[in-house]
């Protein structure tokens, strides 16, 4: 579990340490994260299958490959860090992809995977109305314990954390789904803020793995 005071800064860089090297972001979108890391001294590349998003990233001068995830050239030992934010839940076999990405890291490299938490407080409280389900776009939603099992399967050191990133917006959209069957209604905003800024932090601090986003940090073997 992350301390609330450290969460914002850590999430901005996806918990990557301040040791610039080569970094690949899988599902890089418009390249905003890669641009931030480039300014911090990293040599960055991205993978983005959507041509519109890839074009936006390229306009920042970022090298982006327009691959589908399964088509990424698996060059062993190439990167110091690989990040994947809210991508793994769109894959039919996240366990296998986790292993393929680990193999692309240099010895001791870092793989950081972020995804919605199906064991978080919102998911537990609202069930089928939870915003993170997103059927049919989300195929598999690994839990914190599932990530720990994946780390054990591949025999790599790492840690699995949860955080409260985006809790207010997620709560509002979850309430909107519960009340109206769709996102976008704002009449629950006051209640959403009360839940997100009071109830969720209490659960987050008191109970294990109850944040709204999972952060899995894996270290490739040295």
**Contact present, 6 and 27 (Cβ < 8 Å):** no
Tell me if 196 is assigned to some domain.
no
- Write out the residue range of the structural domain in which residue 156 sits: 4-118+138-164+209-219
pLDDT of residue 2: 46
Q: In CATH, what number is assigned to the domain containing residue 155?
A: 3.40.50.150
pLDDT of residue 185: 65
Tell me if 172 is assigned to some domain.
no
Q: Which two tokens stand for residue 5?
A: 């005071």
Tell me if 94 is assigned to some domain.
yes
Contacts of 210 (CB under 8 A, 6+ apart): 117, 119, 120, 121, 124, 162, 200, 203, 204
| Over residues 63-81, mean pLDDT | 81
Pick 77 or 63 by higher pLDDT: 63
Tell me if 179 is assigned to some domain.
no
Q: Which residue shows structure tokens 């301040």? A: 18
pLDDT of residue 187: 62
Q: Which residue shows structure tokens 């985006």? A: 166
Distance CA 118, CA 207 (A): 15
| Over residues 110-131, mean pLDDT | 96
Report the domain count for the chain: 1
Tell me if 183 is assigned to some domain.
no
**pLDDT tens profile 162-213:** 999 889 999 999 999 988 888 876 667 788 889 998 999 999 989 999 999 9
| Cα–Cα distances in angstroms (integers) from residue 94 to residues 2, 83, 97, 115, in the given order | 24, 14, 5, 11
Question: Percentage of the chain with pLDDT > 70?
Answer: 93
**What predicted TM-score, i.e. pTM, was given to this entire model?**
0.91
Tell me if 89 is assigned to some domain.
yes
């Amino acid at each position: 579990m992350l301390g609330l005071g450290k969460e914002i800064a850590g999430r901005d860089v996806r918990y990557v340490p301040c040791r610039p090297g080569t970094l690949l972001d899988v599902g890089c979108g418009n390249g905003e994260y890669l641009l931030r890391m480039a300014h911090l001294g990293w040599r960055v590349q991205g993978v983005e299958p959507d041509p519109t998003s890839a074009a936006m990233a390229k306009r920042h001068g970022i090298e982006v490959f327009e691959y589908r995830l399964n088509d990424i050239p698996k060059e062993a030992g190439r990167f110091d860090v690989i990040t994947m934010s809210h991508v793994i839940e769109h894959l039919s076999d996240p366990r296998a992809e986790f292993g393929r990405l680990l193999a692309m890291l240099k010895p001791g490299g870092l793989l950081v995977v972020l995804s919605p938490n199906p064991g978080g407080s919102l998911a537990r409280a609202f069930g089928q109305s939870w915003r993170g389900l997103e059927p049919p776009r989300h195929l598999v939603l690994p839990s914190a314990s599932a990530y720990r099992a994946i780390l054990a399967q591949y025999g790599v050191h790492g840690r699995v954390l949860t955080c409260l990133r985006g809790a207010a917006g997620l709560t509002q959209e979850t309430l909107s789904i519960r009340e109206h069957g769709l996102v976008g209604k704002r009449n629950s905003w006051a209640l959403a803020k009360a839940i997100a800024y009071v109830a969720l932090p209490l659960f987050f601090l008191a109970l294990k793995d109850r944040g709204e986003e999972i952060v899995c940090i894996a270290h490739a073997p040295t």
